[in-house]
Structures are given as structure tokens and as C-alpha cells.
């Protein structure tokens, strides 16, 4: 589904946000927050519900939520004072108040492209354009709760439809296909990545390819 509002367009399939036709980076959690608010509009989403949706497997203090809202507002050009897109309901939660036009893929002349995904156990994490951080930090984009994983362990950079992974001087290192890496390394479909002792898989999902690998 594609949602058009103001000067922005959100594509939930490719996980892409554009503003004035230019792709804008959002962390995975910020993207999920924006998607949740749009899909629930005009309902006010309570803070507790948002926290449960965004951090289902971790204890995170409520103060992280306004920071995430601020990231979304900056990306879409909204301002906290007199916000015209995301409204703060003090002591309650947030709601999406801008007019939205829904564009279904079959009505869009733009063919959907490949979707870059990390498989972490049963979790499916879509990698959007820009930087995605990986580590044991609750505020990171991909949270891995394992003692072998450093707080800020690695980062994955998506640019022009390609993804590279880079170790950030972690204690236990990062491997691709069982080979330790010491510089940004291009990822290929089906690659196994090890962050410390945690194994994840990089998958390129092609909407028109029924043979896309599923783990």
C-alpha cells in the first residue's frame, strides 16, 4: 500500500518514505510508528499500545517514544508546535490528523522493486534506504538480546538497491558466510550474517518471484 499525504509518500511494500520526490531515511522503528499511526487514523493510539507494538520483546522506557515521534516529524516536515500531521495528545498518546490518499499497487504505474530483508529467527525486518544499526542497544534499529552482541555492533547501509554490512569494532566481530569482515561488505541474497554468535539471514524478496527464499 502507498499512502500520500502533504508532500510525502509512504510505500509500505518497499519501506520507502519520499518527501518532494526525494527518499528520506527513517529508522525501522520510526517507519513502523508512522505506518501504525497512518493505518489507525484518526484514532488516538495510546502510548502503552505503541510501546507494545514497537518494542514487543524488550523493556524500554516511555521517554524513547517522543524521540521516535520527533524523528518521524523531522522526516515528514511536521513541527511539534502546531503540528498538522501528527498530533500529540498529552498524557494519552498520538494520532495522525493529516488527510491521506491511498494508492493501491494495481493502480500505480510504478512496479514494485525487490525488498531487502533481515531474517532474525521468526522476525522479518525490512531494510529501508540509509543506515540500519544492529546491536544490544534498545534504541538501535535491530535489537539483538544476546551477550555475544556488542551494544553498537554493526551497521547495514542500503543505497541504490544494494546493501553492505560493516562491523563497528565489536568485541566478538561480524562474519558473512562464516568469514570475518573488517570493512564494508556487499551482501548477496541468502547470505548468512553472524553478529557475535547470533545468526541472521539477508534475503532479497522479489514480489514477482515465487521462488524467493523463505527461512
Instruction: Judge whether 2-103 and 115-205 match in fold.
Output: no
Confidence at residue 209, expressed as pLDDT on a 0 to 100 scale: 56
Which residues does the chain have with pLDDT short of 50? 210-215
Confidence at residue 73, expressed as pLDDT on a 0 to 100 scale: 92
Distance (Å, rounded) from C-alpha 28 to C-alpha 154? 15
170-184 pLDDT, tens digit per residue, is 999 999 999 999 999
Confidence at residue 81, expressed as pLDDT on a 0 to 100 scale: 56
142-192 pLDDT, tens digit per residue, is 889 999 999 999 999 988 789 999 999 999 999 999 999 999 999 999 999
Task: List the grid coordinates of 107.
Answer: 493502480
Alpha helices in the chain (DSSP H): 28-40, 47-54, 64-76
Residue boundaries of the structural domains of the chain: 2-103, 115-205
Conformation bin of residue 125: beta by default, left when phi > 0, alpha when psi is -120 to 50:
beta
Confidence at residue 16, expressed as pLDDT on a 0 to 100 scale: 85
Pick the CATH number of 115-205 from 2.40.50.140, 3.30.70.2860, 2.60.120.920, 2.60.200.20: 2.60.200.20
Q: From residue 180, how far is each of 165, 187, 195 by CA, in Å?
A: 11, 13, 10
CATH topology of domain 2-103: Arc Repressor Mutant, subunit A (1.10.10)
Task: List the grid coordinates of 23.
Answer: 527518499
Distance (Å, rounded) from C-alpha 112 to C-alpha 143? 28
Confidence at residue 104, expressed as pLDDT on a 0 to 100 scale: 67
Confidence at residue 215, expressed as pLDDT on a 0 to 100 scale: 45
Confidence at residue 212, expressed as pLDDT on a 0 to 100 scale: 47
Query: Which is nearest to 181 in space by CA: 189, 171, 173, 170?
Result: 173
Give the helix/strand (H/E) hosting 22.
strand 22-24
Q: From residue 137, how far is each of 95, 115, 129, 149 by CA, in Å?
A: 27, 25, 21, 10
What is the model's pTM? 0.55
Amino acid at each position: 500500500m502507498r499512502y500520500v499525504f502533504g508532500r510525502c509518500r509512504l510505500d509500505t511494500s518497499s519501506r520507502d518514505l519520499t518527501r518532494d520526490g526525494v527518499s528520506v531515511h527513517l529508522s525501522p522503528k520510526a517507519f513502523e510508528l508512522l505506518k501504525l499511526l497512518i493505518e489507525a487514523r484518526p484514532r488516538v493510539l495510546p502510548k502503552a499500545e505503541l510501546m507494545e507494538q514497537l518494542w514487543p520483546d524488550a523493556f524500554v522506557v516511555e521517554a524513547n517514544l517522543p524521540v521516535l515521534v520527533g524523528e518521524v516529524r523531522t522526516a515528514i516536515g511536521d513541527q511539534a508546535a502546531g503540528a498538522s500531521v501528527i498530533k500529540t495528545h498529552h498524557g494519552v498518546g498520538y494520532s495522525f490528523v493529516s488527510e491521506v490518499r491511498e494508492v493501491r499497487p494495481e493502480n500505480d504505474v510504478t512496479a514494485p522493486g525487490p525488498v531487502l530483508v533481515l531474517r532474525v529467527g521468526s522476525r522479518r525486518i525490512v531494510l529501508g534506504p540509509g543506515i540500519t544499526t544492529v546491536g544490544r542497544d534498545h534504541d538501535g534499529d535491530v535489537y539483538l538480546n544476546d551477550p555475544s552482541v556488542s551494544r553498537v555492533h554493526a551497521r547495514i547501509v542500503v543505497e541504490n538497491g544494494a546493501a553492505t554490512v560493516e562491523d563497528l569494532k565489536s568485541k566478538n566481530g561480524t562474519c558473512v558466510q562464516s568469514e570475518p569482515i573488517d570493512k564494508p561488505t556487499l551482501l548477496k541474497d541468502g547470505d548468512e550474517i553472524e553478529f557475535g554468535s547470533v545468526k541472521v539471514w539477508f534475503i532479497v524478496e522479489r514480489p514477482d518471484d515465487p521462488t524467493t527464499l523463505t527461512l
